[in-house]
């Protein structure tokens, strides 16, 4: 199954119309964690099902030998219910498929939330996602409720049919055949029927498991039969495209196409540039074999599986790739750079130096062994981009594809990379294709330049026109320094939830309280007690009846029928009440409330929680753990409670009738009690290990889906599969140990139970009791022995489920909550947009020093302020502090005179606007992504799209001309630059008085960036705008520039004023761009 992921199209581009995303990404989570486990469980359930069928056949044979034709009267009850059983089985399959489909949709929404959590938290979009996930959960619960209704009916049938069969058998035997009911016949028949009843009691779980396995197998087969990417085994060492028409996989007929003919020079540097959406990334994907070539041909090197690794060995057909949206998987910085290759110190040191990472590693607490967090959340955008670059440099690839790696870094770093890396060093002699908007700084090292325009090659080679374009572009990448600081200097993962030994009773109470109040459980216990009481009453009455051959048959039979009917009614009601009535029960209330608590926990958690917690762990809780609580908790609890009452009542009756046998029972039960106690602790620990072992599986899957193109490009699919096999083996070892221990203890319990029954039998014979009394006592002795085995099995299964409850509860306990204290400002606050930062000090963690020191700035209403500064100066930290993503150690931030620490965090963020570099969009339609509140009309949305220059005309081929255009999860069916513009359009529609932009246009071309700058000036007139930007050109006409250095304010003033002040920090930044660029910045500042 995992290998299939590596052979299918990238989920992000598999369907550029947005369809099929859920099937590719989210469904596989459930296939891995739920469906595979369901199929594997048949190795245990299958023998039980076979044993139950054999027991039924043998039982019927025994009954015929004892009762003759009367036995078939009772057995005939079973086929009479076959139409209902057939209806249940048929609909159970359909309902199970529907439930799986709705579960996939819910997990998809949760995965989308986790992958876009930064955008969601900083813009207070949690409530929109919370409502969306709740709606999906309600739909899932409705599907589950119908499944439970069928299960309840089937449970009632299999549980009560044997009791009704006994009544019909005895009635026919005595009333029709006029035969006496002998004690030996009666109690042996009861014993056989009880065995049949026990076997039939296993049938619902076995049949449900069989149906679930069938559904799981069909889902697995459906996925495994999906089309795979056809990857040719090629030995091309050059890159040639001949009249190639290229499209994204499974694109619609009217979707974007790239039509190119190119021959890229081998062993040289090629630079590809063009406007946003011109097809640059699509071209690279085609070279990687990840796009659809509709006509013509594309010949390019492809990586094969690694066979050898020496520092000087380049493979002619090996490729390295750095995507535009940097791929960083969970692990250390070193792991992400080596990417499976062995460590060669000299080569490693050189790649760090050329990727300009050495200074970053110096400020990380553990250097290159620092954990980077899920998807690299602990790193800045520039650091992630440079790690991807270092990975390519360290690789043995002869061909390197770099997709806009310079957009995420500052001008100084970019020029150093171009000079020391692209100008020679480790890329010397390699074929490098660099996609970039920053043609000017790359042109000196470029051997070949390609300009794309509207899906075609507009210019190729180095001509006068290309040089002119470079001059026009020369200002494009002039800026300060890296946009972000390391978000968290110590991103060690939070410890996983779990305990040791048996599951604490407080976690049982956690589930029981969620399912219902005290009176609910009292009534449920009453119904279970009534069923058991009626069973005892039937046995007592049968003893009296069989001991009175001359008694009134109608009287005895009538009273027996009353006891049977009462037991049947109570038995039916207990299943109905257990599964849920109204707003109570395991399904109607229990699992729903637990899911809601878990959902509220992640929605209300601070941003730092997601940087420290692997997403695989959270997906495991919402997937596998919630599935166990949803699907099995009611059955397991009900059967365990029933077995416990059976054992206690049977042992009590045996002890009353044979008091001296208590000694032998005690001798057997004391070691049995000790053994089961040890077993419970062992199995609970093993199940915790199993659940913990599943989280790395999901994390590896998640990383693989996100970086499947990277994995194929580098040729490490085999190594990735081996890593997955290692994780699967680790989980399987735990599962095998659990099964071996359980089966050994089960065999011991059977032996001990048989010893107890034998002791009771010897005692009764020695005491010379009547046959009726002996049959009565032995029936309960057998029930005790069988009940002990069933109780162990039931309680063991129940504890497995409550290990999941423990994990959920402990994760809830460990999840911090964002502050909700304070008063929500009334009216239209902020009405002006004034921001006063007063002596603000900020630190990441209590044991780390401040990263902002006594920052004091006043931003007037409606003012546009640009923030610049060197790496680690505190630019992004200041933006996060305004939004209280980082709390102040001292000082304050006041907006329109209100201290932001005096209000709930979400209320603050809801009134502000934040556009970040790592843009993401909600899955659905274009309208859904831009209007989360669903309150705007189409005219407003179209106007916003026009203002951000995504919609210049209502061209039907333009995907933004139709608001029903599908948006994939995170907006992955659009380019990075298009996603940034869509997020800016969403900010326009929010209409806040304060807008904060952190590299919001870093991935768009210069022309579009200039248009956006003008749009911000016009459309956000009267809005306070704070912009962190690489391009000084972007903020040169702003009202103020704030220059930060080492967490302190170096300068604050108008761009013109600071430029004229020789020796100022801003003047130095501008001068660093070169004389020509300085003159252009000076000209632009004068125009303001």
pLDDT at position 650 is 82
Give the tokens for residue 46.
């299958």
pLDDT, tens digit, 9 for 90 and up, residues 795-845:
777 877 888 888 888 888 888 888 888 888 888 899 899 999 999 998 877
Q: Name the class of domain 1-230.
A: mainly alpha
Domain 1-230 matches domain 239-324+332-370+379-472 at the CATH topology level: no
Longest dimension (CA), the chain: 122
Whether residue 477 is predicted with pLDDT greater than 50 in this model: the reply is no
pLDDT (mean) for 618-629? 86
Q: Residue 1088's pLDDT is what?
A: 66
This prediction has a pTM of 0.74
Find the mean pLDDT for residues 107-132. 89
Count CB atoms within 10 A of the CB of residue 1033: 23
| Contacts for 481 with CB less than 8 Å, ≥ 6 apart | 410, 411, 412, 413, 868, 869, 870, 871, 873
3-state secondary structure of 242: strand
Domain boundaries, the chain: 1-230, 239-324+332-370+379-472
Structure tokens belonging to residue 159: 């549980």
According to the per-residue pLDDT averaged within each range, which of 28-37, 537-546, 797-806 is highest?
Answer: 537-546
First to last CA, the chain: 60
Across residues 97-104, what is the average pLDDT? Answer: 86
Q: From CA 1048, how far away is CA 851, in angstroms rounded?
A: 9
C-alpha to C-alpha distance for 863 and 834, rounded to whole angstroms: 9
Which of these ranges, 26-30, 596-600, 882-886, has the smallest mean pLDDT? Answer: 26-30
- Cα 723 to chain centroid distance, Å, stands at 20
pLDDT band at 19; cut points 50, 70, 90:
very low
SS (H, E, C) 600-629: HHHHHCCHHHHHHCCHHHHHHHHHHHHHHH
User: Which of 324-333, 554-563, 573-582 comes out lowest in average pLDDT?
Assistant: 573-582
Residue 187 has pLDDT above 80, yes or no: no
Work out the pLDDT band at 374, boundaries 50, 70, 90.
low
Mind listing the pLDDT tens digit for each residue in 911-936? 999 888 777 888 888 898 888 878 88
**Fold of the domain built from segment(s) 239-324+332-370+379-472:** Rossmann fold (3.40.50)
Average pLDDT over residues 293-318: 69
pLDDT of the residue at 234: 60
pLDDT for 952:
75
Task: Answer whether 264's CB lies under 8 Å from 398's CB.
Answer: no
294-298: which pairs have CB atoms within 8 A and are 24 or more residues apart?
Answer: 294/245, 294/246, 294/247, 294/257, 295/243, 295/244, 295/245, 296/241, 296/242, 296/243, 296/244, 296/245, 296/261, 297/240, 297/241, 297/242, 297/243, 297/244, 298/240, 298/241, 298/244, 298/246
Q: How confident is the model at residue 483 (pLDDT cuts 50, 70, 90)?
A: very low
| Pairwise CA distance, residues 244 & 225, whole Å | 29
- 3-class SS of residue 208: helix
Q: Is the model more confident about 370 or about 892?
A: 892
304 has pLDDT over 70: no
Q: Report the C-alpha gap between 499 and 502 in whole angstroms.
A: 8
In this predicted structure, the answer to whether residue 461 has a pLDDT above a threshold of 60 is yes
3-state secondary structure 797-825: HHHHHHHHHHHHHHHHHHCCCCCCCCCCC
Q: Using a pLDDT cut of 90, give the percent of the chain over it.
A: 13
Cα 343 to Cα 347: distance, rounded to the nearest angstrom = 8
d(CA 518, CA 601): 26
Q: How far apart are CA 797 and CA 783, in angstroms?
A: 20
Question: Is 470's pLDDT higher than 60?
Answer: no
Token match 């250095």: residue? 1045
pLDDT, position 894: 94
- Contact status, residue 721 vs residue 697, Cβ threshold 8 Å: no
Between 898 and 40, the more confident residue is: 898
- From the CA atom positions of the chain, what is the Rg in Å? 35
**Of 134-138, 407-411, 841-845, where does mean pLDDT reach its minimum?**
407-411
What pLDDT digit, counting tens, does each position of 356-367 carry?
A: 998 888 878 788
**Model confidence band, residue 710 (pLDDT cutoffs 50, 70, 90):** confident
Give the separation between CA 47 and CA 567, rounded to whole angstroms: 30
Q: Is 111's pLDDT higher than 90?
A: no
- Neighbour-count burial of 266, counting CB atoms closer than 10 A to its CB (0-12 exposed, 13-18 middle, 19+ buried): middle
Tell me: pLDDT of 20 over 70: no
Does 479 have pLDDT greater than 50?
no
Q: Which of 37-46, 199-208, 389-398, 406-415 has the lowest mean pLDDT?
A: 199-208
What local confidence, expressed as pLDDT, does residue 899 receive?
93
Work out the pLDDT band at 431, boundaries 50, 70, 90: very high
Is pLDDT at 752 greater than 70 in this prediction? yes
Q: Name, of 399-413, 505-519, 758-772, 829-843, the range with top average pLDDT.
A: 829-843
User: What is the overall mean pLDDT for the chain?
Assistant: 81
Q: Cβ contacts of residue 950 below 8 Å, gap of 6+?
A: 960, 978, 981, 982, 985
Mean pLDDT, residues 8-29: 54
Residue 249's region, left for phi above 0, alpha for psi from -120 to 50, else beta, is: beta
Q: Which pLDDT score, from 0 to 100, does residue 980 have?
A: 80
Q: Which residue has the tokens 């960083």?
A: 328
Q: Average pLDDT of 542-556?
A: 84
**977: part of which helix (H) or strand (E)?**
helix 976-990
pLDDT, mean of residues 971-996: 84
CA–CA separation, 972 and 987 (whole Å): 19
- Burial state string for 482-500 with b = 16 or more CB within 10 A and e = fewer than 16: bbbbbbbbbbeeeebbbee
User: Which pLDDT belongs to residue 277?
Assistant: 76
Least confident of 38-42, 138-142, 179-183, 784-788: 784-788
Q: Distance between alpha carbon 406 and the CA centroid of its chain, in Å?
A: 31
* CA neighbor of 858 nearest in space, from 876, 879, 833: 833
Residue 368 near residue 334, CB atoms below 8 Å: yes
Strand partners, 1041: 866, 1053
Q: Which of 70-79, 669-678, 722-731, 781-790 has the highest mean pLDDT?
A: 722-731
Whether the Cβ atoms of residue 886 and residue 844 lie closer than 8 Å to each other:
yes
pLDDT tens per residue across span 602-622: 999 998 888 778 787 888 889
CA distance 304 to 298: 18
Q: Which residue has the higher pLDDT, 389 or 178?
A: 389
* Nearest-angstrom CA–CA distance, 1001 and 404: 13
Across residues 1036-1059, what is the average pLDDT?
A: 90
Q: Name the least confident of 7-16, 91-100, 216-225, 875-884.
A: 7-16
Return all residues near 192 (Cβ < 8 A) that are at least 6 apart.
59, 62, 63, 66
Which long-range CB contacts under 8 A does 340-343 form with residues at least 24 apart?
340/306, 340/714, 340/716, 340/719, 341/306, 341/309, 341/394, 341/395, 341/396, 342/309
Q: Is the dihedral of CA 745, 748, 754, 755 positive or negative?
A: negative
């Amino acid at each position: 199954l995992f290998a299939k992921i590596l052979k299918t199209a990238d989920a992000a581009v598999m369907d550029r119309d947005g369809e099929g995303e859920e099937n590719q990404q989210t469904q596989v989570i459930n296939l891995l964690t739920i469906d595979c486990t369901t199929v594997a469980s048949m190795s245990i359930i299958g023998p039980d099902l076979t044993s139950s069928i054999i027991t039924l056949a043998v039982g019927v044979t025994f009954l015929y030998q004892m009762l003759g034709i009367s036995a078939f009267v009772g057995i005939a009850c079973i086929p009479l219910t076959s139409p209902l059983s057939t209806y249940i089985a048929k609909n159970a399959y359909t309902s199970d498929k529907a439930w799986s489909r709705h579960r996939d949709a819910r997990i998809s929404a949760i995965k989308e939330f986790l992958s876009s959590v930064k955008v969601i938290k900083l813009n207070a979009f949690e409530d929109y996602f919370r409502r969306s996930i709740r709606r999906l959960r309600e739909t899932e619960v409705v599907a589950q409720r119908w499944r439970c209704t069928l299960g309840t009916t089937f449970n009632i049938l299999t549980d009560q049919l044997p009791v009704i069969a006994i009544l019909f058998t005895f009635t026919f035997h005595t009333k029709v055949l006029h035969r006496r009911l002998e004690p030996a016949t009666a109690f042996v028949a009861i014993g056989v029927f009880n065995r049949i009843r026990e076997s039939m009691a296993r049938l619902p779980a076995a049949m449900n498991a069989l149906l679930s396995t069938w559904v799981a197998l069909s889902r697995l087969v459906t996925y495994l039969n999906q089309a795979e990417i056809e990857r040719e085994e090629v030995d091309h060492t050059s890159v040639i495209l001949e009249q190639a028409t290229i499209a994204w996989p499974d694109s619609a007929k009217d979707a974007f196409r790239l039509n190119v003919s190119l021959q890229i020079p081998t062993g040289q540097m090629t630079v590809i540039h063009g406007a946003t959406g011109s097809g640059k990334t699509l071209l690279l994907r085609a070279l990687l074999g990840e796009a659809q070539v509709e006509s013509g041909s594309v010949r390019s090197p492809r990586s094969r599986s690694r066979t050898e690794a020496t520092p000087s060995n380049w493979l002619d057909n090996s490729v390295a790739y750095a995507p535009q949206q940097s791929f960083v998987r969970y692990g250390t910085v070193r792991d992400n750079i080596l990417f499976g290759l062995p460590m060669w110190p000299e080569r490693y040191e050189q790649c760090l130096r050329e990727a300009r990472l050495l200074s970053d590693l110096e400020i990380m607490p553990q250097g290159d062994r620092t954990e980077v967090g899920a998807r690299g959340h602990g790193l800045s955008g520039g650091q992630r981009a440079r790690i991807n670059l270092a990975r390519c440099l360290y690789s043995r690839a002869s061909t390197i594809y770099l997709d806009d790696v310079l957009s995420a870094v500052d001008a100084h770093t970019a020029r150093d990379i171009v000079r020391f890396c692209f100008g020679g060093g480790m890329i010397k002699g390699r074929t490098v294709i660099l996609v970039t908007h920053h043609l000017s700084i790359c042109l000196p090292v470029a051997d070949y330049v390609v300009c794309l325009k509207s899906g075609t090659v507009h210019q190729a080679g180095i001509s006068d026109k290309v040089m002119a374009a470079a001059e026009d572009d020369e200002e494009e990448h002039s800026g300060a320094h890296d946009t972000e600081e390391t978000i968290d200097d110590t991103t060690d993962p939070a410890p996983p939830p779990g305990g040791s030994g048996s599951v604490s009773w407080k976690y049982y109470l956690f589930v029981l309280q969620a399912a219902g109040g005290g009176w609910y459980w009292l009534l449920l216990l009453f119904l279970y007690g009534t069923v058991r009481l009626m069973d005892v009453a039937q046995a007592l009455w049968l003893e009296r009846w069989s001991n009175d051959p001359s008694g009134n048959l109608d009287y005895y039979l009538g009273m027996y029928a009353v006891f049977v009917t009462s037991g049947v009614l109570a038995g039916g009601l207990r299943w109905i009440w257990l599964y849920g009535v109204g707003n109570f029960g395991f399904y109607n209330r229990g699992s729903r409330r637990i899911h809601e608590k878990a959902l509220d926990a992640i929605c209300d958690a601070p941003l730092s929680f997601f940087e420290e917690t692997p997403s695989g762990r959270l997906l495991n809780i919402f997937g596998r753990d919630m599935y166990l609580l949803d699907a099995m908790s009611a059955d397991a609890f009900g059967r365990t409670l029933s077995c416990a009452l059976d054992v206690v009542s049977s042992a009590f009756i045996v002890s009353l009738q044979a008091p001296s046998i208590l000694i032998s029972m005690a001798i057997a039960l004391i070691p049995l009690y000790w053994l089961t106690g040890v077993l419970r602790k062992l199995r609970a620990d093993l199940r915790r290990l199993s659940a913990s072992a599943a989280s790395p599986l999901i994390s590896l899957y998640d990383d693989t889906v996100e970086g499947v193109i990277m994995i194929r490009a580098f040729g490490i699919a085999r190594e990735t599969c081996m890593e997955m096999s290692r994780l699967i083996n680790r989980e399987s070892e735990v599962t095998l140990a659990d099964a071996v221990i359980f089966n050994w203890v089960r065999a011991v319990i059977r032996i001990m139970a048989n010893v107890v029954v034998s002791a009771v039998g010897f005692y009764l014979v020695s005491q010379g009791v009547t046959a009726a009394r002996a049959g009565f006592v032995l029936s309960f002795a057998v029930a005790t022995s069988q009940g002990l085995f069933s109780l162990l099995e039931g309680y063991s299964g129940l504890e497995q489920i409550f290990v999941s409850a423990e994990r959920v509860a402990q994760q809830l306990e460990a999840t911090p909550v964002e502050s909700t204290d304070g008063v929500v400002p009334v009216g239209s606050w902020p009405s002006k947009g004034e921001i006063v930062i007063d002596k603000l000090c900020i630190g990441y963690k209590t044991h780390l020093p401040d990263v902002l020191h006594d920052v004091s700035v006043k931003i007037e209403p409606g003012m546009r302020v640009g923030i610049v500064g060197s790496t680690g100066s505190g630019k992004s930290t200041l933006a996060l502090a305004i939004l209280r993503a980082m709390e102040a150690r001292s000082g304050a931030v006041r907006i329109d005179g209100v201290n932001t620490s005096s209000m709930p965090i979400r209320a603050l963020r809801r009134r502000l606007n934040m556009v970040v570099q790592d843009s993401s969009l909600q899955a659905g339609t274009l309208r859904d992504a831009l209007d989360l509140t669903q309150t705007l009309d189409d005219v407003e949305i179209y106007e916003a799209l026009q203002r951000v220059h995504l919609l210049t005309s209502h061209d039907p081929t333009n995907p933004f001309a139709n608001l029903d255009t599908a948006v994939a999860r995170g907006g992955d069916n659009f380019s990075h630059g298009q996603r940034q513009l869509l997020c800016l359009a969403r900010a326009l529609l929010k209409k806040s008085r304060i807008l904060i932009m952190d590299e919001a246009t870093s991935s768009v071309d210069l022309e579009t960036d200039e248009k956006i700058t003008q749009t911000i000036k016009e459309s956000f007139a009267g809005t306070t705008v704070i912009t962190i930007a690489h391009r000084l050109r972007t903020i040169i006409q702003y009202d103020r520039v704030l220059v930060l250095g080492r967490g302190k304010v170096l300068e604050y003033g108008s761009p013109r004023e600071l430029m004229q002040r020789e020796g100022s920090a801003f003047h130095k930044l501008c001068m660093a761009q070169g004389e020509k660029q300085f003159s252009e910045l000076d000209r632009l500042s004068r125009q303001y």
